[in-house]
């Protein structure tokens, strides 16, 4: 039998990380326990001292969560993973474990609103210097590096503007200077994109999104080399600051991951079809989706995202539709959708739409938001798994209602 790492993605999503428990259960049981008993004080001491393996307390480790971590590490082709109670928990874990006062971080100019807040406001409060840079521009990135730069953090594609950064080009520059490269891969998880294979040091996920894929869990994960992940899970955020997932949520994500290949194929296929529909619509000004041949980043996205791209896109409405402001036109379009839900997540079975300027990125200062391309006319859409004809006819009827 092949080693799991040599198997196909669909096979790995089902089998990697799994080992039968003592009772031979096929599905990993939910170890819904806060603590683990020791037969003797000596055994407890030895487990605390890590002289013998074994669980002691679920904030530090739990069998259901450990299976999830093995599975995510295998899918991202990483050595190790630590799962967290949210995507923000994963981001916080990396930042507080590997940064200290006096360090300089380069952050992509367009990132998820809460990430922007933590990096812009919270890190600076602790004496970390921060620059926001368009990391898709490698020359600009190179020019922003200082003697004290220790981390480059970015999303590719960016939320919500779908800009692509060349991960291997960034990793090459960073490698020359011993700078850690952290990629938030939430929008393009495997089998779409593999940042570690491109040279990144860490991959982060909001597993709330595609990895769980069913819209019923908040969770996160960090994947990297064994030593770095041990630093996070053993002594920093996840254990001591407590960003640990519940065993029940770990179980749900393990369950969701088993259909990941099928789901990602459908999300991406629907995404491309919707992006093409929007591109041809007379009320749409611009579509941001790297899988469109008209995208200036198509060639890079094709290579880096293995021709799958993502199910997420954003688009801008034309100005002055029906004499309305951009915001009013967006509001009206979204309110008229009947199948798609207005909600701020992505990667769920159902199609979701939201208005970043007033929702996910409302806390980013307006001028910074607009510099990053998050205008009032921008709508983000996450293609669901519905039949494509139904998604398109929903969009069609909503567009007709704003163009009366």
Ligand X SMILES: Cc1ncc(COP(=O)(O)O)c(C=O)c1O
184 among known catalytic residues: yes
State which of residues 215, 220, 247, 347 lies at the interface with ligand X (CB under 6 A): 220
Quick one: 339 exposed, middle or buried, by C-beta within 10 A (0-12, 13-18, 19+)?
Answer: middle
206 near ligand X (CB under 6 A): yes
266 among known catalytic residues: no
209 among known catalytic residues: yes
Whether 133 contacts 155, CB under 8 Å: no
Handedness of CA 394, 398, 399, 400 (dihedral sign): positive
Q: Which of 116, 166, 184, 228 is catalytic?
A: 184
Q: Report residue 362 as tokens.
A: 């409302």
SS3 of 152, please? strand
Total residues at interface with ligand X (CB under 6 A): 13
Q: Which of 47, 59, 77, 120 is catalytic?
A: 59
- Asked if the bond preceding 57 is cis, omega within 30° of 0, the reply is no
SS3 of 400, please? helix
State which of residues 186, 310, 326, 375 lies at the interface with ligand X (CB under 6 A): 186
Q: How far is the CB of 157 from ligand X (least distance, A)?
A: 9
112 near ligand X (CB under 6 A): yes
201 near ligand X (CB under 6 A): no
Distance from C-alpha of 23 to C-alpha of 218, rounded to nearest angstrom: 29
Q: How far is the CB of 170 from ligand X (least distance, A)?
A: 17
State which of residues 155, 261, 316, 394 lies at the interface with ligand X (CB under 6 A): 155
Q: How far is the CB of 58 from ligand X (least distance, A)?
A: 20
20 among known catalytic residues: no
State which of residues 65, 69, 208, 250 lies at the interface with ligand X (CB under 6 A): 208
Q: How far is the CB of 187 from ligand X (least distance, A)?
A: 6
- Closer Cβ to ligand X, 85 or 375, answer by number: 85
Binding mask 68-107 for ligand X (x = CB under 6 A): ------------------xxx-------------------
Selection from 324, 329, 340 nearest residue 390 by Cα: 340
183 near ligand X (CB under 6 A): no
- Closer Cβ to ligand X, 61 or 189, answer by number: 189
- Closer Cβ to ligand X, 115 or 402, answer by number: 115
Cα Dmax for the chain = 77
Q: Which of 31, 112, 210, 288 is catalytic?
A: 112
184 near ligand X (CB under 6 A): yes
310 near ligand X (CB under 6 A): no
Q: Which of 71, 163, 180, 209 is catalytic?
A: 209
Q: How far is the CB of 362 from ligand X (least distance, A)?
A: 13
The alpha-carbon radius of gyration of the chain (Å, integer) is: 22
Q: How far apart are the first and last CA of the chain?
A: 62
State which of residues 64, 97, 159, 375 lies at the interface with ligand X (CB under 6 A): 159
**E strands present in 86-239:** 104-108, 129-133, 149-155, 180-184, 202-206, 220-224
Query: Could you write out the DSSP letters of every residue in 259-317?
Result: THHHHHHHHHHHHHHHHHHHHT-TTEEEEE-TTSTTSTTHHHHHHHTTTT--SEEEEEE
The neighbour count for residue 284, using CB atoms within 10 Å, is 17
291 near ligand X (CB under 6 A): no
- Closer Cβ to ligand X, 206 or 244, answer by number: 206
Q: Report residue 29 as tokens.
A: 């049981």
- Asked if the bond preceding 14 is cis, omega within 30° of 0, the reply is no
Catalytic residue positions? 59, 112, 184, 209
Which residues bind to ligand X, rule: CB under 6 A? 86-88, 112, 115, 155, 159, 184, 186, 206, 208, 218, 220
């Amino acid at each position: 039998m092949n080693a799991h790492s040599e198997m196909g993605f669909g096979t790995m999503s089902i089998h990697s990380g799994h080992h039968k428990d003592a009772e031979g259960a096929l599905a990993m049981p939910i170890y819904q326990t806060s603590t683990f008993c020791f037969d003797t004080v000596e055994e407890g001491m030895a487990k605390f001292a890590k002289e013998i393996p074994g669980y002691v307390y679920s904030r530090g480790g739990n069998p259901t969560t450990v299976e999830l971590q093995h599975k995510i590490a295998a899918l991202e082709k990483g050595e190790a993973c630590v799962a967290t109670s949210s995507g923000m928990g994963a981001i916080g874990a990396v930042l507080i474990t590997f940064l200290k006062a006096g360090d300089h971080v380069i952050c992509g100019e367009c990132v998820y609103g809460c990430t922007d807040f933590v990096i812009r406001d919270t890190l600076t409060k602790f004496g970390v210097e921060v620059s926001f840079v368009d990391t898709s521009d490698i020359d600009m990135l190179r020019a922003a590096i200082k003697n004290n730069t220790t981390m480059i953090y970015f999303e590719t594609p960016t939320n919500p503007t779908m800009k692509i950064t060349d991960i291997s080009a960034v990793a090459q520059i960073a490698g020359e200077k011993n700078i850690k490269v952290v990629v938030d891969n939430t929008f393009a998880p495997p089998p779409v994109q593999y940042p570690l294979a491109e040279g990144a040091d860490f991959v982060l996920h909001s597993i709330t999104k595609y990895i769980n894929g069913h819209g019923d869990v908040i969770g996160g994960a960090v994947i990297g080399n064994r030593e770095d992940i041990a630093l996070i899970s053993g002594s920093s955020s996840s254990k001591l600051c407590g960003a640990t997932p519940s065993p029940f949520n770990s179980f749900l994500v393990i369950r969701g991951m088993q259909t990941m290949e099928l789901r990602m194929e459908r999300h991406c296929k629907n995404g491309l079809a919707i992006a093409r529909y929007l591109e041809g619509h007379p009320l749409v000004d611009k579509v941001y989706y790297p899988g469109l041949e008209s995208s200036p980043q198509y060639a890079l996205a094709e290579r880096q995202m293995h021709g799958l791209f993502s199910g997420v896109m954003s688009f801008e409405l034309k100005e002055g539709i029906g004499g309305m402001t951009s915001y009013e036109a967006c509001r009206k379009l979204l309110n008229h959708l009947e199948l798609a839900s207005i909600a701020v997540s992505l990667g769920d079975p159902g199609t979701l739409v939201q208005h970043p300027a007033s929702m996910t990125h409302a806390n980013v200062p307006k001028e910074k938001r607009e510099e990053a391309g998050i205008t009032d006319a921008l709508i983000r859409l996450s293609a669901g798994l519905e039949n494509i004809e139904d998604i398109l006819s929903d969009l069609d009827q909503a567009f007709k209602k704003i163009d009366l």
